[in-house]
Amino acid sequence: MAKTWKRLRDVVTVASNGDQISEFTFPANDYLKVVFFIKKQGTGDMTLFPNAITSGDNTFTARYGKDFGSLTSNNNHIGIHGNYGQLEGDCLATYYISNKSGEEKLILWEYALGASGDNAPDSFEASGKYTTKTGQITSFSANCGSGGFGAGTWIAVYGIVDDTVTDEKTTISNVEDGTRFYETDTRKIYRFTPSTLADSSESSLTDVVFDADTMTGSVTYSGNEITRTGSSSWVNGLNSNFFFRNSGTQTIECVAQKTGTSAWCLFGLASAKTVESSNMDDQMEYAIRSADDGRTWIRQSSGNWTQVSNTSDNVTFKIVNDRTTVTYYANGSSIGTTTHGTPASTYYLMTLCAQTNVDGSYKFDYSGDITTGDPSKWTERGSA
């Protein structure tokens, strides 16, 4: 089957001059492509740190050159150095990495430095290897000297996956309700159902309705209340059956009664519905994570978790997103804010919970502009 590149992680963007890029994670993949646009701000060289290891790990070696000229070797570095000070200014970089567990990670990368007018750009070419054989690279952090990156710097990570064969019926549109499609290779019959999408707005908190089809793992819910017992795994969660529209202010609230030991509540706004994965928390754009002992984190648009002041064991959490600023609350008091990043067109409420020994109870409410229902789709009706 043909292969193609699939984005493993949403684009991480630097919001303010002087910021560094803290650890951001992505699913394991045997082959990685990292695309990095750098607005130069710091005085030092850019370094990409596999698995966010920034000290005590001199396991990177490289050979590099500028403008296809002579090559220089540099051994025993911490992290993948960018262009070794050869280019100063805004750059576009691409890294290709073999990322198999049990093997050294071979790397090819190149930079292009923009030039004014008809002048040819400078280039930087390098090859290297990350000699750590154990495991795979599943996260990066990045540093750009003492001054950090410039606002507008961004990075994206891709992995190799099987190509998806286009389904013929997905290209058929503007058809009447009840229209039938016969798939000759599978002998399955599909019927077309029209859109049932409906918009509504809630100005005060009301019960969240959940979508059973999005359940991952095993949770019990009734109305807007979720209970969980018997597992400390994160792979237990649900999405709302609606999504917030790209307008107005969205508010989601969780009344968490974490009565067990090793009890965790995690909820927030996600740009897609739940998929089964060990790192589902990385699918959330903005979120709150809290343990039964009161430790609490907030998730920011860059994908980082920041620990904030401890909260009580049983507490009412709330996230308010006005598409400019995201504010996090515990029992009515702010526990942090973050600048809203590039707005997604829609957001779902996603919740993950883990509870052992004693049941935990989590009640969810929302307010804002939402859309419910299903878009037009082909639904299987049987087979020949």
Q: What is the pLDDT of residue 115?
A: 66
Low-confidence ranges of the chain (pLDDT < 70): 1-2, 42-44, 57, 115-116, 163-174, 176-178, 184-186, 229-235, 259-261, 274-282, 301-303, 342-344, 355-359, 381-384
| C-alpha pair distances (Å), 372 with each of 107, 240, 245, 284, 323 | 46, 10, 10, 20, 20
Q: What is the pLDDT of residue 335?
A: 93
pLDDT in tens, 316-333: 999 999 888 999 999 999
Q: What is the pLDDT of residue 275?
A: 59
Beta bridge partners of 372: 198, 242
Q: What is the pLDDT of residue 328?
A: 95
**Quick one: 296 and 226 in the same domain?**
yes
CB 337 within 8 A of CB 320: no
**Quick one: 215 and 331 in the same domain?**
yes
DSSP per residue over 84-98, as a string?
TTS--S-EEEEEEEE
Compute, in degrees rounded to 10, the torsion defined by CA atoms 55, 58, 62, 64.
Answer: 50
Look-up of token digits 């910021």: 19
Share of the chain above pLDDT 70, in %: 83
H-run or E-run covering 245: none
Q: What is the pLDDT of residue 100?
A: 92
Three-class secondary structure of residue 282 per DSSP: helix
> Alpha-carbon distance 91 to 153, whole Å?
10
DSSP per residue over 147-175, as a string?
T-BPTT-EEEEEEEEEPPPPPGGGG--S-
The model scores a pTM over 0.75 = no
**Quick one: 331 and 203 in the same domain?**
yes
Where b means 16+ CB within 10 Å and e means fewer, 286-297 reads bbbbbbbeeebb
Domain stops at, among 111, 141, 162 = 162
Domain of residue 70 covers 3-162
**Quick one: 202 and 324 in the same domain?**
yes
pLDDT in tens, 293-314: 888 889 876 567 889 888 877 7
> Alpha-carbon distance 58 to 93, whole Å?
23
Record the tokens describing residue 168, joined without a space. 């013929």
Compute, in degrees rounded to 10, the torsion defined by CA atoms 279, 282, 287, 289.
Answer: 30
**Quick one: 223 and 326 in the same domain?**
yes
**Quick one: 141 and 205 in the same domain?**
no
Beta strand 314-321 with 250-257 is: antiparallel
Give the CATH number, domain containing residue 114: 2.60.120
How far is CA 127 from its chain centroid?
Answer: 28
> Alpha-carbon distance 136 to 114, whole Å?
33
**Quick one: 97 and 205 in the same domain?**
no
Q: What is the pLDDT of residue 171?
A: 64
Look-up of token digits 């994570």: 289
**Quick one: 306 and 203 in the same domain?**
yes
Decide if 298 is inside a domain. Answer: yes
